[in-house]
Every structure is written in C-alpha cells, then in structure tokens.
C-alpha cells in the first residue's frame, strides 16, 4: 500500500470534507453519488466507476460518472475476472488497456479494492485521458478515497437492507390490519394483489382462487398497479399451477425455466422474465395461489423474496377465509332459507337501490311479480313437504332463466319477484315469458311419485319510471298487473300499462264509474292510465299538476280554487282516452285530419266530465285550456280574460311542461329556452301577467 506522507494541506482539507459528507449521508444512492463525483474531483480523475458485489456472487451492481455507456457495460465482467483477484491481492490494479471494442478517450485506469471487515465488497475505478506513470501523491489520495468508500458503501448497504426490512415489516403489518378489516371478497382480492405488488416490487400480481363450491371454476384477480386491475371467472387451470395446489411447493422460475415450461396465465401480460408463485394454505389445505411476475429491482426473485411471500401468503389465507365466512353469514341474513333466493327484506333494499340508481342515471328497469297458480289448493292436497319442493323448483327455474345482474327474490308464500335492471317493457316481457314457459313445461311427477301434474304461474310486469316513481308504487303496479293476469285465466303475463289501457278502453262506463269516486287518488290513477296511452307523456299529468298548484298558490287563490285547479290538472287530458294510439304516438307531423281529432279532445273531456256532478266546476278549465290569449286557440277561439283563469293557468304550465319533455318530433328543450318561449308568447298565446308570476316561481 501507499504511505500517506505526501498529502498536501489542500488535499487533506478536501479529504476531510469528503469524510464528513459521507458520514452525513445515509441513502445508498446519495453515498454512491458522493463517492463518484467528489472522488473524481478530489483525485483529479476524469471519470469514476463503482462496482458493488453481493452475497450471491451475481454480477455486481455498477454505477458510473463521466464515462461512456460502452465502457460502463464492461465494468461488470471486468470486475468478475482476473482484475478482481489482482485488486484483492494487491489492494489496487492499474489498467493500461481498455477492453476490446470499447471506444473511449480514457487511456489509463486504476482499480482499488473496497475491503470492509476483511471482505471485499466492491471495486472503485478512476480513469484518465493521459498515459504514463501516476504521481505517488495522487495514488495516496485515491487509496484514501477507496478506504472511505468501502466503509461508507458497506454502511449504506446495511442501512438499505435495514430500511427494506423495516419497510417490509411495515407493509406486512399494514396489510394484516387492512386485510383483516376487509369483509368484501372483491375488495379483498384487490388489496391482496396490491399489497403483494408493493411488498416485492413486481410488475404484476396474480391471485387465483378456486371457487369452494366448484372444482371447475376459479376466480382470477390481477393487479399491474394500484390503478389497473382485472378480474375474471374462468375454467380452473391445469399444468404447473394445478400441481402446486397439490404439492404446496413454491415455484420460482427465471427466463431459462420459463422457456422450458408452458405457463397458463389468464391475462395478457408483459414479457414474463421471472415468476414467483406460492400456495395460499389454510388448515393444511391449498385454497389458492399468489403469483408475482417480473421483479422490478432485480433480474429474478431470490430466497428472501420466497420467504417474504410465504409469510404474506399465511396472512392472505386467514383474510380470505374470514371474508368467505363473512359472506356466508351475510348470505344467510339476506336469503330465503328454503329457495336460496333473496328474502323479502333484501328485495326491498335492492329495489330501493335500483330506484335511486335509475333516477340518477335516467334509466328504465322492470319488476316482475310471479305467483304460483292454485298453490294453496295444491299445498292442502299434497302437503307442505311437497309444496316446499315445488317452491324450490320454481325458484331454480327463475334463477336459470335470468341474467347474473337480475335480482330474484321470494316475496312471500308462493310469490316471487325479479328486478330487471336496464330493462324496459318489451325485453322484460320476453324474460317473463321464458320463466312462464319453462315452468309450464316442467313435469313434477317425480316429486309426487307416479302422479304427474302441471305447475303454472301468472306474472305481472311494471316499469320504472314509466309506471311508477317510487318503490312502493312500482310493487303496487306489478301486483295490479298480476291481478289482471290471474283474473283473465292464469298461466299468463300482463303488463301494467296494457292492463289499464284495456280496462279503460274496453267500455266507456268504466271511466264513468271511476269518476263517480271523489277520491283524488282514484283521479290520479285514472290520469296515469290516460298518460300510459301516450309513450311520450307518461308522468305529464303529475308535473302539470305540480306547476298548476304552485301557480295558483302564488296568485293567492282560495283553497277551494286551488283544489279545483288541482283536480282540473289531474283530468285535463281525459279527452285523449278516445284518441287512437297511432295518432298520439305518431313520430312525425300530423295530417290536418289527425290534428282535428287531437283538437277535439277538450269537447270529449267535457262530455265525459258532465256525467260526474261533483266535477262540473272544473269543466271550463279543461274545455278552454288550449285557448290562446290572442283568440287564435281552440275549441271556441275566445281571448283575453274571457278565458277562465284556471284555463289560462293550465295553458301556461302545460306548454312549459311539454317544452321541457321529449316528444315524437323533437327532443326536450332547456329550461332557459322554455322560459324564453313563454316570454316571447306572453300576450299572444299566454296571459302576460300569469307568465311573469310563473317565471318567478320556476326561477
């Protein structure tokens, strides 16, 4: 080695500062940067390189400053060859020739061994552009820098290892807390994959869980980052992963191993260069496999990674079983014990949630109400045990006839319900017919021995929001449709809209009978039936009534007048009940003849309402609500304040509601456009003073 007796005061000062900088640095990257940059500067070198060895005798970790990429690439093989032996024996080695094929401005290099506690932990290189002998003074400086580097690099590696251990323990601890408190299986999958991804710093984490109740199906969950997840249900895999479930052995594969094996992965992933898989074991049984793909900070997974993932796998097993137990208990609380379908309470909860979702996203969904025909008689004749088997059979048929997203439930007794999300009337009717047909075709003879019999069902359908605006109302409408299906002979399907329409249109005296009932609810039901005739005015009456009453109150009308405008609003379109559907639902412009038919509905309403004495006071409002303030309206062309006040109110609110609704010939207009139209037609079509008050209300 060299004598340290020719160090200048300036060099001594710089070396002291270097020692202080290294002592104050903890992070490995920071220590390496100081060694290379400050080492090259103090030693007067043009470039420096650090090669750190590891315990596994793998290629060293190489860091460089001021040298080309070509030369840097040769440092690792240089450090593993004879040069390493020379540096280990002599303490340093001079390099007078660069490796073949390396084009670089450097002509001379010096390599110093980094010895810590008697073990060589790396090599420190300094490179120069000049050839020739190196001054003794400079060699002494480089040797001192190498000594400092050995101690600092060793401490930095130990610090990094300690920090990694602490980090891993923290992740394991956080994972244990997070996983133990997660009862939802899908969320648990995500957390399991994410924690594994973070724990071993991999490109992807894969979780495979065979379904407990099936030997053919498995759930597969993958995480490529906290933001990228995928989940799939697929046939259970075979091959090496299937063998793992039996052998419970760890699988650690590198590129050469992967090339020799067929790896059945359920997702398209980046090129797989390393793979670590451990079985998830609970009570000595394999319940799944956890797979990590492509280690980020290394070429492949090592024994330390295996041990860490095995430890994590035990946590995963406990969490999965806890979540499964929670799901089982939760399922017991929300399902009917006999049929396995959702129970009544869960149905009500799911229905309310679907109402909220459909309101928020402006979607349509349908509700089927299914009743087993003559079930009480059958139960009394054959006994409850046989009846229970029939209930189970019908429930099974319902379940196999619907989608996974549909929600079947036992409503009570022999009644079942099915919520059909994102499903309007026509598709709902197809589903209902599938259920009815399958049940009709079933033969339950084996259930009763030699006696063969048919089980049939009746089904009522209603939709949200076309038929109802609340959970309770939707159930009522489906129940009413079911009532008509049973009344008309059973073993059939009835839609609520068609049922009401058929009831009202079959005989005019039906309307007269309804109008004799003074209850507002009855009037509302009648109005709903009228609205149901027109695909584009369902809900029209409720909105018109709301605005009309609000305007009447703003005008400070008497309670009697407010009640009258309330009834008039509900029944203002009663005359359209006799207008053919083809005209009401025509998507294009009306002919002159069709327009005449439409404009005749106020007189039709007058004729209907005259038969109900208690409604005579509201006839003028309904008869004249299509008159215009300038006298150009219909049916009689009266104008100004000769038009009854209630009719003028109805004229404004109905026009506003129509503008803000979809029609066969146009889309709905914005509130601003509708208000602008009201202002422009004030004094022409509408009473100008009433328009002012109404705009204030809706603003």
Catalytically active residues, by annotation: 414
Question: Could you count the other beta carbons within 10 Å of the beta carbon of residue 663?
Answer: 14
Of 434, 431, 501, 496, the residue nearest 463 (C-alpha): 496
Three-class DSSP category at 282:
strand
**Contact partners, residue 309, CB within 8 Å, separation at least 6:** 196, 199, 200, 250, 276, 278, 290, 292
**What distance in Å separates the CA atoms of residue 440 and residue 100, rounded to the nearest whole number?**
87
For residues 163 and 33, is the Cβ–Cβ distance under 8 A?
Answer: no
For residues 160 and 28, is the Cβ–Cβ distance under 8 A?
Answer: yes
DSSP β-ladder status, 108-116 and 217-225: unpaired
- Alpha-carbon distance values, 471 to 343, 348, 353, 356, 462 (Å): 16, 8, 9, 9, 11
For residues 205 and 228, is the Cβ–Cβ distance under 8 A?
Answer: no
Structure tokens at 621: 């409002």
**What distance in Å separates the CA atoms of residue 197 and residue 204, rounded to the nearest whole number?**
6
**Contact partners, residue 65, CB within 8 Å, separation at least 6:** 33, 36, 37, 40, 47, 48, 49
Phi, psi of 415 (to 5 degrees): -100, 140
**What distance in Å separates the CA atoms of residue 426 and residue 420, rounded to the nearest whole number?**
12
The number of helix segments (H) and strand segments (E) in the chain equals 26, 16
**What distance in Å separates the CA atoms of residue 605 and residue 601, rounded to the nearest whole number?**
6
DSSP string covering 403-418, please?
-TTSEEEEEETTEEEE
Of 518, 522, 620, the residue nearest 572 (C-alpha): 620
**What distance in Å separates the CA atoms of residue 502 and residue 573, rounded to the nearest whole number?**
18
Place of tokens 């009544």: 344
For residues 124 and 148, is the Cβ–Cβ distance under 8 A?
Answer: no
Helices 136-180 and 303-334, axial angle in degrees (round to 10): 20
**What distance in Å separates the CA atoms of residue 223 and residue 238, rounded to the nearest whole number?**
22
Structure tokens at 511: 């309307």
**What distance in Å separates the CA atoms of residue 274 and residue 411, rounded to the nearest whole number?**
54
> CA 347: distance to chain centroid?
22
- Alpha-carbon distance values, 600 to 501, 573, 636 (Å): 20, 11, 11
> For residue 369, what is the enclosing H or E element?
strand 365-372
């Amino acid at each position: 080695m060299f004598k340290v007796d020719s160090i200048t005061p300036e060099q001594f000062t710089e070396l002291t500062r270097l020692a202080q900088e290294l002592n104050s640095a903890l992070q490995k990257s920071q220590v390496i940067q100081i060694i290379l940059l400050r080492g090259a500067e103090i030693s007067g070198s043009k470039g420096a390189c650090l090669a750190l060895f590891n315990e596994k005798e793998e290629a060293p970790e190489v860091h460089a400053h001021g040298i080309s990429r070509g030369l840097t690439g040769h440092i690792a093989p240089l450090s593993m060859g004879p040069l390493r032996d020379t540096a280990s024996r002599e303490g340093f080695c001079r390099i007078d020739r660069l490796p073949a094929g390396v084009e670089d401005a450097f002509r001379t290099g010096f390599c110093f061994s980094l010895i810590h506690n008697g073990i060589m932990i790396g090599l420190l290189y300094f490179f120069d552009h000049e050839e020739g002998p190196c001054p003794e003074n400079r060699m002494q400086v480089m040797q001192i820098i190498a000594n400092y580097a050995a101690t600092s690099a060793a401490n930095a590696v130990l610090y990094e290892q300690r920090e990694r251990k602490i980090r891993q323990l923290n992740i394991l601890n956080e994972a244990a807390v997070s996983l133990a408190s997660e009862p939802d299986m899908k969320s648990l999958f995500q957390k399991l994959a994410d924690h594994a991804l973070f724990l071993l710093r991999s490109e992807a984490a894969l979780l495979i869980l065979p379904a407990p109740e099936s030997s053919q199906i498995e759930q597969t969950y993958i995480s490529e980052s906290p933001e990228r997840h995928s989940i799939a249900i697929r046939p259970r895999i075979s091959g090496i992963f299937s063998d793992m479930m039996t052998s419970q052995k760890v699988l650690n594969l590198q590129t050469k191993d992967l090339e020799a094996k067929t790896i059945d992965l359920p997702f398209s992933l980046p090129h797989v260069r390393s793979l670590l898989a451990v079985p998830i074991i609970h009570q000595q049984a394999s319940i799944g496999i956890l797979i990590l793909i492509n280690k980020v900070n290394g070429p492949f997974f090592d024994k330390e990674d295996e041990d860490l993932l095995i430890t994590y796998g035990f946590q995963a097993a406990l969490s999965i079983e806890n979540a499964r137990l929670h799901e089982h208990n939760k399922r017991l609380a929300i399902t009917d014990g006999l049929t396995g379908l959702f129970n009544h309470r869960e149905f009500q909860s799911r229905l309310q949630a679907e109402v909220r979702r459909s309101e928020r996203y402006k979607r349509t969904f349908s509700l089927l109400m299914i009743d087993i025909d003559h079930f009480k008689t059958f139960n009394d004749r054959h006994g409850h045990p046989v009846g229970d088997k029939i209930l189970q059979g019908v429930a099974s048929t319902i379940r196999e006839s619907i989608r996974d997203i549909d929600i079947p439930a036992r409503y009570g007794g022999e009644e079942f319900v099915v919520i059909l999300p994102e499903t309007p009337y026509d598709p709902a009717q197809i589903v209902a017919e599938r259920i009815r047909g399958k049940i009709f075709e079933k033969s339950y003879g084996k259930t009763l021995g030699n006696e063969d019999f048919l089980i049939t069902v009746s089904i009522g359908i209603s939709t949200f929001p076309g038929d109802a605006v609340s959970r309770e109302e939707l159930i009522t409408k489906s129940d009413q449709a079911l009532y008509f299906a049973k009344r008309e002979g059973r073993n059939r399907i009835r839609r609520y809209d068609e049922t009401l329409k058929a009831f009202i249109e079959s005989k005019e005296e039906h309307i007269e009978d309804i109008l004799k009932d003074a209850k507002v609810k009855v009037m509302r039901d009648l109005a709903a039936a009228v609205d149901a005739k027109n695909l584009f005015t369902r809900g029209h009456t409720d909105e018109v009534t709301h605005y009309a009453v609000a305007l009447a109150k703003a005008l400070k009308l008497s309670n009697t007048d407010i009640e009258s405008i309330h009834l008039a609003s509900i029944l203002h379109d009663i005359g359209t009940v006799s207008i053919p559907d083809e005209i009401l639902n025509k998507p294009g412009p009306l002919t002159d003849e069709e327009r005449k038919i439409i404009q005749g509905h106020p007189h039709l309403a007058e004729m209907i309402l005259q038969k109900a004495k208690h409604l005579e006071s509201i006839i003028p409002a309904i008869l004249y609500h299509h008159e215009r303030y300038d006298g150009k309206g219909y049916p009689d062309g009266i104008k100004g304040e000769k038009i009854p006040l209630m009719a003028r109110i109805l004229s404004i609110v109905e026009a506003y509601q129509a503008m803000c609704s979809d029609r066969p010939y146009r889309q709905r207009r914005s509130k601003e456009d509708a208000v602008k139209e009201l202002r422009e037609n004030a004094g022409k079509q509408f009473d100008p003073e009433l328009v002012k008050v109404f705009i204030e209300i809706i603003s």
